[in-house]
Amino acid sequence: MLATLEGSVTAAVLALTAVGLSLVFGVMRVVNIAHGEFFMLGAVIAYVLTRAISGHPAVGFAVALVVAPVLVGVLAVVADMTILKRLDYDPERTIVATIGLLYIIQQLTLMSYGPDARPVEAPFNTRLALPWFEWGENGLAMYWPWGLSTTSYKLAVIGAAVVLLCGIWAMMARTRIGLVMRATQADRDMAQAFGIPVEKVYAMVFGIGAGLAAMAAVLIVPIQQAHYLMGADPLLLSFIVVIIGGLGSLPGTVVAAILIGLSDGIISVFFSPTLAKILATLLVGLVLVFRPQGLFGTRGV
């Protein structure tokens, strides 16, 4: 049960990060290797902001939750307009370009923020004891064993991720912006032939994708710590999730994130984190062999 909860937190954060990656790939056909660095930047900015703002930690955190994704999103929009647009969104050249972006962001962070891992204080962090059920002398008994606990913050992370994911879904399915994005995803030229400014849509999608990664990082940073190399793991896991779920499929991405996050949590607790990674990567291999379009993907035209 504890493992499930830990896994859910991983799953929640992973789902947000991976949905950002999936959105960028789905609409723009750009494989964004620098996605993990946008994640890392979100965490670092959250650290800087919570440090700069005095008062109750919740105030700084709330500001970070809004400002960090916006800042990172703006940075991504600038990167899109100055780099990706000039490459004409060529699938291969953008991979190389985002690898370059990855190192630039990473090294700049190392030079300015330093090599230390620094914690951010959670806005609220009540310890919640979890009940345990066991058959005793009096039948089914419930008690609170020492050490079996979670924090209110972890539950809040899961809740926030669910709300955000519902928001993304609603945006894609119900709003005009979502309609424009999906039309662009379906056929870029025809989208232009119907008056959709595809380049603006691309810039926006890249910004939203990066913003989601940053948002996920702000949520996780009170549990992990902000570090300039922290982007590698979420990047790898996001790719695993996106491949399993089907490139460009949002529901598939979320389901795969839950699958990978939960199994990661459970296996890490009972066996070892390495085994969890091995299994996840094995799963990717199997999916690629037997269902190349992903579990929820539709075969591309």
Partner 1 sequence: MPRCRRPILGVAMLRLEAVNSGYGRAQVLRDLSLEVQAGEILCLLGRNGAGKTTTMQTIMGLLPLMSGRISLDGEDIGSLPAHEVPRRGIGYIPQGRRLFAGLTVAQNLEVGLMTRGSGREVLEEVLELFPRLRERMGQKAQTLSGGEQQMLATARALCLRPKALLLDEPTEGLQPSMIEAIRQVIVKLRADGVAILLVEQRVDAVLSVADRVAFIENGRNGEILSAEALRADHSIVDRYVGV
Of 110 and 186, the one with the shorter C-beta distance to partner 1 is: 186
Of 207 and 248, the one with the shorter C-beta distance to partner 1 is: 248
Of 185 and 263, the one with the shorter C-beta distance to partner 1 is: 185
> Is there a contact between 219 and 161 (Cβ–Cβ < 8 Å)?
yes
Task: Tell me: does residue 87 bind partner 1 (CB under 8 A).
Answer: no
Task: Tell me: does residue 170 bind partner 1 (CB under 8 A).
Answer: no
User: Cα separation of 177 and 180, whole Å?
Assistant: 5
Task: Tell me: does residue 186 bind partner 1 (CB under 8 A).
Answer: yes
Give the DSSP letter string of 185-251: HH-HHHHHHTT--HHHHHHHHHHHHHHHHHHHHHHHTTTS-B-TTTTHHHHHHHHHHHHHH-TT-HH
For 79, how many CA atoms within 13 A lie in the half-sphere containing its CB? 28
Region from 36-44, 172-180, 214-222, 280-288 binding partner 1, contact rule CB under 8 A: 172-180
Task: Tell me: does residue 192 bind partner 1 (CB under 8 A).
Answer: yes
Task: Tell me: does residue 92 bind partner 1 (CB under 8 A).
Answer: no
**Residue 259 Cβ, how far from partner 1 at the closest point, in Å?**
24
Region from 194-202, 209-217, 226-234, 287-295 binding partner 1, contact rule CB under 8 A: 194-202
Chain contacts with partner 1 (rule: CB under 8 A): 176, 179-180, 182-183, 185-187, 189-198, 298, 301
